[in-house]
Amino acid sequence: MKKLLAILVTTMLLVSVMAPLALAEDAGFVDGKFTETRTITVAHFDRDTEGWDVDNNVFIDFIKQSMLEQYNIDVEFVTTPRWTESDNLPTYLAAGTACDVSYTYSDGTIETYFKQDAVLDLAPLLEEYGEYLTDMVDFFGTNLTWKLDPVEGTIYAIPAVRIETSRINTFVRADWLDKLGMEAPTTTEEFEAMLIAFKDNAELLLGDDADMMVPFALTEDVSWRANNILVSCVADADMNDKTNYIYGYDSRQFLFPGVKEGARLLNKWYNEGLILEDFSLYKMGDSAVDNLIKAGFVGAFENNWDYPFTGGDESIYNMLTEQQGEDAKFIAIDPFQNDAGLTKKVLYSSNGIYIFFPSTNDEPLASLLYLNWMAKLENRMYLQFGEEGIDFEYNADGVRTIVTPDPGYYTRESSNNIDTTMIINGLDQGDATLNAQTKALSYAGVDSYYVELAWNMAMNNGISFANINLGSVEAEEGVSEVLETKRDETLNTAINASVEEFDAVWDAGMQEYLDAGGQAIIDERAEKYNAAYGE
């Protein structure tokens, strides 16, 4: 596979060097510009952002104007509601109305339609037009071949580049630690001791509300809300790309060897009364547990690396300050060490949303040029930052800080303009330090110290597993929902079990998971891996 990747990239680079020779071949495309205006349609999510209007927006106008001047391409944007896009997309594809440049997180949908010839194979296009796409090749790097089929050589989608790979953090109440005269825990044992101290000192910490004390908050979504704890029980030697390929079907590492011990630890804590008693009742989307955190009843929890800071005025950070006083703060900690004494945790991979062209796209070059145009740093920086003084400003230290303009022409459709700038997830100024500085200042009302700390903790000893693409795994088709349910059931029932019954409950749940298709996936993945790389 690596060979194929190398050939593709080399061909593109080689052809790009010979670009001037090839220019004359396309009569309609002279000196890097179409002689007649070409029109492409581009998909754009709509999140009902106040003030944002696709027909009256500075970023959209910038794209249209720039593309027309530079390439003589007329870009038309077609919006689709963010929250229903996965329902709408199959209809668009089947009916042939999908945009020339489309995107979705459901790569399974794209693959399904690709197999039915409703989605274009990008590999020959990248090869044919590589000479005009140098910015894109530089920017996307290995993401370009992320979905390269090792046998057929096809590419049905290109994932956007995810700049920020930080994923999950553990947060604790710093003011509670102070009140108890404790240091932030640096090991799992210290973390446990801290939870016990929270529980034992409920009256000191919560006064009349002592019975509301929740040392560690969890929800039904255990594999996410305790991911760093579970993963810390995976042997250091197993935190590698091979294990991730074979056992990583589930993006929550549920099948990784050792996760059972993480669940056992949670089961022990649960039985000691350190975990929210009825956590399994709180499903995804239920804000009850967040409300407990905001109300100041929770000592520690895990979630997205910046979770306490997001949500503006209603963020955990701001609500807690408002209700419990200035001192009430959650800080990120990184205590869960594995057998090698390292706080290994899983980071996001560098892939974001999947960009693809439906087969109804009859302007593939113009569509690729659009992506190439956006890949240029100055273009995507404008799309992310906007106008100085309106969408961003420089602070005293010369760091760009994001400003939210009044709803209207200058409104970003979403945080970082993630949809308008479809090729990138996360703010990028071409420099990691600048990015981190800006990031630290980008949460309304939040002291940058806490954000920087959270970022460092989330990235500390983090692993981004490599993308190993050995073709589609047939055993994975149609089982994702069942397996997801079984995963959550197993984790929840096992943690809720008594300490003595833990093994029996876990083993039974895992067996059901494997019987429901998990084993077939592991076997097929192992077989593919061994065939490609040997045992």
Partner 1 sequence: MIKSKHSKWGDYLVVFLCVIMILVFFLPVWNVFVRSFSSPQALIRSDVYLWPVDIDFTAYTLVLTDTTYTWALLWTAMLTIGCTILSMTMTTLCAYPLIFEKLRGRKFINGFIMLTMYFNAGTIPNYLLFKSLGMINSPTVLIFPYCISVFNMIIMRTFLQNIPDSLRESAEIDGANPVRTLISIYLPLSTSVLATLSLFYAVGRWNGYSDALMFMPQNKTYYPIQLLLYNIIQSKESLDAATQEGFSTPGASDALKAAAVMFATIPILMIYPWLQRYFIAGVTLGAMKG
Interacting residues toward partner 1 by CB under 8 A: 46-48, 78-84, 87-88, 90-91, 94-95, 97, 105, 162, 164, 167, 221, 224, 284-285, 287-288, 291-292, 294-295, 304, 306-307, 310-312, 314-315, 319, 323, 348, 352-353, 414-416, 418, 425-426
What is the number of other CB atoms lying within 10 angstroms of the CB of residue 399? 18
**Which residue is listed with tokens 């020339």?**
100
Q: 3-state SS of the chain: helix, strand, coil percent to 5?
A: 50, 15, 35
Q: For the CB of residue 169, give the shortest distance to partner 1 in the complex, in Å.
A: 13
Overall size of the chain counted in residues: 535
What distance lies between CA 118 and its chain's CA centroid? 27
Nearer to partner 1, 338 or 425 (CB): 425
**Which residue is listed with tokens 């890097």?**
32
Nearer to partner 1, 426 or 518 (CB): 426
Q: For the CB of residue 532, give the shortest distance to partner 1 in the complex, in Å.
A: 28
Nearer to partner 1, 209 or 327 (CB): 209
Nearer to partner 1, 353 or 453 (CB): 353
Nearer to partner 1, 386 or 426 (CB): 426
User: What is the distance between the alpha carbons of residues 356 and 104, in angstroms, rounded to a whole number?
Assistant: 8
Angle between helices 364-375 and 122-129 (to 10 degrees): 70
Q: For the CB of residue 131, give the shortest distance to partner 1 in the complex, in Å.
A: 33
Nearer to partner 1, 125 or 374 (CB): 374
User: What is the distance between the alpha carbons of residues 47 and 158, in angstroms, rounded to a whole number?
Assistant: 23
DSSP 148: B
Question: Which residues, other chains included, contact 285 with Cβ-Cβ below 8 Å and sequence gap of 6+?
Answer: none
Measured at the CA of 117, the angle between CA 115 and CA 123, to 5 degrees, comes to 85
Q: For the CB of residue 94, give the shortest distance to partner 1 in the complex, in Å.
A: 4
Question: Which residues, other chains included, contact 134 with Cβ-Cβ below 8 Å and sequence gap of 6+?
Answer: 16, 372
Question: Which residues, other chains included, contact 269 with Cβ-Cβ below 8 Å and sequence gap of 6+?
Answer: 192, 195, 216, 275
Nearer to partner 1, 167 or 380 (CB): 167
Q: For the CB of residue 127, give the shortest distance to partner 1 in the complex, in Å.
A: 30
Q: For the CB of residue 89, give the shortest distance to partner 1 in the complex, in Å.
A: 10
Q: For the CB of residue 234, give the shortest distance to partner 1 in the complex, in Å.
A: 20
Contact criterion met (CB below 8 Å) for 232 and 505: no
What distance lies between CA 27 and its chain's CA centroid? 42
Sign of CA dihedral 6, 12, 17, 21: positive
Q: For the CB of residue 415, give the shortest distance to partner 1 in the complex, in Å.
A: 5
Nearer to partner 1, 164 or 524 (CB): 164
